[in-house]
Amino acid sequence: MASKSINVHGENGAGKKTLIGSLIFRCGLEMQMLEQLKRNGIHQYADVVPYFEREGIPPSFYAKSAKFLVERENQTPDVVFWLVDATDPGAAKTSSQRLASMLAAATMNPKEKLLILVNKMDLTKWSEDAFQQVARQFRALSLPKDKAFIIPVSSTEGTNMLSSPQDVPWMQTPPAGRSDESEDLDQTLMDILG
User: Which residues contribute to the annotated binding site for GTP?
Assistant: 119-122
Amino acid occupying residue 2: A
Annotated binding residues: 119-122
| Distance (Å, whole) CA 32 – CA 168 | 36
Closest by CA position to 138, among listed 176, 87, 83, 190? 83
| Distance (Å, whole) CA 172 – CA 175 | 10
Q: How far is CA 134 from CA 24, 85, 129, in A?
A: 26, 8, 9
